[in-house]
Amino acid sequence: MATWGSQKGMAYTKLVHVAADKDTKPSSTNFIFNGGTSLQQVLRVSINSVGFYNNIYNIYNDTRGANNTYTYQYGFNRTFTLTPGFYNIGTILNLMNADLVAAGAGGDVSWTFNPITNYVSLNVVSAGSQLVLNVPGPNPPLGLMTTLGGGVFLETKNFNAMPGVYQGATFPLLSGPTKLYLRSSALSPCNGIQNDGVFINTLLALPVTAAPNTYNLFDCKVDSLCEISYKIPRNLNFIDIQLTDRYGNIMDLHGGSLDIELRIWCNTI
């Protein structure tokens, strides 16, 4: 942490840099910053900037759930699973088709992507196909099928005597998160209430505009738009920080750092 103090009217301003990396516990996106006794009688806080490497996987099995697997029958029940990571649609479908070939369905069933329409399709060639998509039973994993386009892909469907081209309902959902949220109970103004009556701790919504594996920087140009004011001065001895998606799931930067610069106004130096 580095601080610089200057007097502004009746308050002192301090610039605080919070940096978390792979060695931060429990993680660089969920930690507590120790402000010691230097952040006392705080009147307001402005979030100058937030930066992080966009190392968030688009195929995952983490706090968000799992979108890396699906099940099917071809002769017997089978499960296909992708290792979490960064994928484009071509790589995913190549691996899925290789799995179908290994199952003996290579000339019978295939997954394709139309680069003009941007839709994924399941092509069933043979009228005698043995394919059953999504193994019958309670709660088959549908994360990967949702990512590929949903629609018919979410049904438990027997394709015997049903040759044809079956298209997903949406484009593949591989962009990853487009917006993340910086949260802190210590810094929260506690003046926002969710529909269930719980006080929210969201400080900022951060657009994710950087390509995978590149640095994403949010730089606030106007203090008042990124400022938190307190009716009663606070002592910020410990500041909890979380970087989450819209549902509150902690994001994994896979070793990437999270850098936050705060401008803090205090009654004391």
* pLDDT tens, residue by residue, 93-146: 999 999 999 999 988 999 999 999 999 999 999 877 889 999 988 888 999 999
Give CA separation, 69 vs 3, 78, 92, 144, 160, in Å: 47, 11, 11, 5, 23
In the prediction, which pLDDT does 15 show?
92
Q: Show the DSSP H helices in the chain as ranges.
A: 89-102, 143-148
Q: Among 113, 141, 167, identify where a domain stops.
A: 167
> pLDDT value at position 2?
38
Q: What is the structure's pLDDT at 143? A: 95
- Give the pLDDT score at 85: 95
Total structural domains within the chain = 2
Residue 8 above 50 pLDDT? no
Sheet architecture: strand order including 179-183: 30-34, 238-244, 179-183, 202-207
Q: What is the dihedral of CA 56, 133, 95, 214, to 10 degrees?
A: -10
CATH code assigned at 198: 2.60.120.1100
Compute the CA torsion angle 227, 231, 237, 239 (nearest 10 deg): -40
Torsions phi, psi for 172 (to 5 deg): -60, 140
Q: Is residue 172 one of the residues assigned to a domain? A: no
List the domain range (segments joined by +) for residue 48: 5-56+177-266
Q: Is the pLDDT of residue 222 over 90?
A: no
Band (pLDDT 50/70/90 cuts) for residue 174 is very high
Tell me, yes or no, whether 186 and 217 share the same domain.
yes
Q: State which of 167, 192, 217 marks the end of a domain.
A: 167
DSSP 3-state of 81: strand
Are 264 and 39 within 8 A, CB to CB?
yes
pLDDT in tens, 18-72: 999 887 888 899 999 998 888 999 999 999 999 999 999 999 998 888 999 999 9
Q: CA torsion sign, 172 to 175 to 176 to 180?
A: negative
Tell me the β-bridge partners of 74: 76
Residue 201 lies in a domain: yes
Q: Which amino acid is at 112?
A: T
Q: What is the pLDDT of residue 189?
A: 78
pLDDT in the model for residue 198: 57
Residue 40 falls inside a structural domain:
yes
Residues 37 and 76 occupy one common structural domain: no
pLDDT at position 7 over 80? no
